[in-house]
Amino acid sequence: MKQDAAVFDNVEAGYGNVRILNGLSFRVAEGEVFGVIGPNGCGKTTMLNALSGMIRPSKGMISCFGKELNRLEAYERCRLGIGRTWQIPRPFAGMSVYENTLAAAVHGAGRKNLLRDRRSGRKESDTALKALEETGLAEKKDMPSGELTLLDRKRLEVARAMASEPRLLLLDEVAAGLTEAETTQITDLVAGLKEKHYTVIWIEHNIETMMKATDRLMCMSEGRNVLTGDPAEVMASETVERLYLGADDE
Ligand SMILES: Nc1ncnc2c1ncn2[C@@H]1O[C@H](COP(=O)(O)OP(=O)(O)O)[C@@H](O)[C@H]1O
Ligand SMILES: [Mg+2]
C-alpha cells in the first residue's frame, strides 16, 4: 500500500501571535499532484511554510512519508525529501543557471548524502545537471540567471527545488504572471514530474491549470480545508463559487 506523502492533522500555525492556519487537515497520497486554491491571504503559502519548516505548528501534527515533522528543522526536512519553490523567484542573479542549481544541490544534499555520493561516485554536479535536464534548462546552463525570461526563471525555481532530490515537491504559484502558452509549458513540466513518480503540492490561482493538471484539489479558506476532492467537482461546488465571488463583497 502506498504511504501518505504528507499529512496535516488539525494544524494551527502562524506568525508571532497571529494564527493563520486554523485546524488545517488534509492528506496527500504518494505520487499524486495535489492542487491547492483559495482566496488571497487564506494561508496557502503559510501551509507550505509549515510543511517546509519555516514556521512550526502550535497545535496539531504534520508528517511526511510516515515521519513526524513538527520538531525537525527546515534543513532536516529538505534532507527527508521536501523541496520547495518560492512565490517570488530569488536566484542569485550574478551566478549562472548551473551555479544556482549546483548551490541548491550542495546545500540540499547534506553530509549523509555526500558520503553516499562519494561512495557511488555520483557528484552534486550530476544532480544539478539532471535537475536542469528535467526542467528543460540544460541548454541555458551557462547563462547568467539575471538574463533569463520569466518562464525560464520559473523553471530555474523548479530546478533548484529538484536539485535537493526531493520526493515531495512544493510549488507556489510557479505559473503566476505567465502567458497561456507559457503556463502550458509549466503544466507539461509538472506532468512530466508526475510520470517520474514525484509527489507534488501545487498552489496556483489559474483554475483551468488546476483542473487540467491536478489529481485532487483542495480549496482553503481562513486557514482551513473547505473542500477537497476531484478537481472538477470542487470547482463546481457552490461553496467554492461563493468563496471566490464573495471575496470582493465582504
Ligand atoms: N511572514 C509573515 N509575517 C506575518 N504575517 C504574514 C507573514 N506571511 C504571511 N502573513 C499573513 O498571513 C496571511 C496568509 O498569508 P499567505 O499564507 O501568504 O496567503 P496565501 O498564500 O493564501 O495568499 C496573510 O494575512 C498574510 O498577511
Ligand atoms: Mg501565497
Residue 41 CA to ligand 2 centre (angstroms):
7
pLDDT at residue 228, rounded to an integer: 97
Calculate mean pLDDT across residues 67-73: 93
pLDDT surpasses 60 at 113: no
200-228 core/surface letters (b: 16 or more CB in 10 A; e: else): bbbbbebbebbeebbebbbbbbebbbbbb
Q: Choose the residue to mutate in 12, 19, 20, 173 for probing ligand 1, maximizing ligand atoms within 8 Å of C-beta.
A: 20
> Which of the given ranges, 5-9, 99-103, 208-212, has the highest pLDDT on average?
5-9
User: Please, which pLDDT band fits residue 108 given cuts at 50, 70 and 90?
Assistant: low
pLDDT surpasses 50 at 250: no
Q: Choose the residue to mutate in 11, 15, 174 for probing ligand 1, maximizing ligand atoms within 8 Å of C-beta.
A: 15
pLDDT at residue 94, rounded to an integer: 86
Return the residue matching grid coordinates 506523502: 5
Which residue, by CA, sits nearest to atom 19 of ligand 1?
41
> 142 versus 105: which is more confidently predicted?
142
Torsion of CA 199, 204, 206, 208, to 10 degrees: 20
pLDDT surpasses 70 at 167: yes
Domain boundaries, the chain: 93-165
Calculate mean pLDDT across residues 125-143: 93
pLDDT at residue 138, rounded to an integer: 95
Q: Which residues contact 185 (CB under 8 A, 6 or more apart)?
A: 136, 151
> 199 versus 114: which is more confidently predicted?
199
Q: Dihedral sign, CA of 182, 146, 114, 78?
A: negative
Q: Which three cell numbers stand for residue 84?
A: 520547495
pLDDT at residue 119, rounded to an integer: 56
Please report, as a single letter, which amino acid is at residue 72. L
pLDDT at residue 110, rounded to an integer: 54
Q: Which residues contact 208 (CB under 8 A, 6 or more apart)?
A: none
Calculate mean pLDDT across residues 135-163: 94
User: Please, which pLDDT band fits residue 114 given cuts at 50, 70 and 90?
Assistant: low
Average pLDDT of the chain? 89
Q: Which residues contact 133 (CB under 8 A, 6 or more apart)?
A: none
User: Please, which pLDDT band fits residue 249 given cuts at 50, 70 and 90?
Assistant: very low
pLDDT surpasses 60 at 130: yes
pLDDT at residue 245, rounded to an integer: 72
Write phi, then psi, for 27 (nearest 5 degrees): -130, 140
Name the percent of the chain lying above pLDDT 70: 91
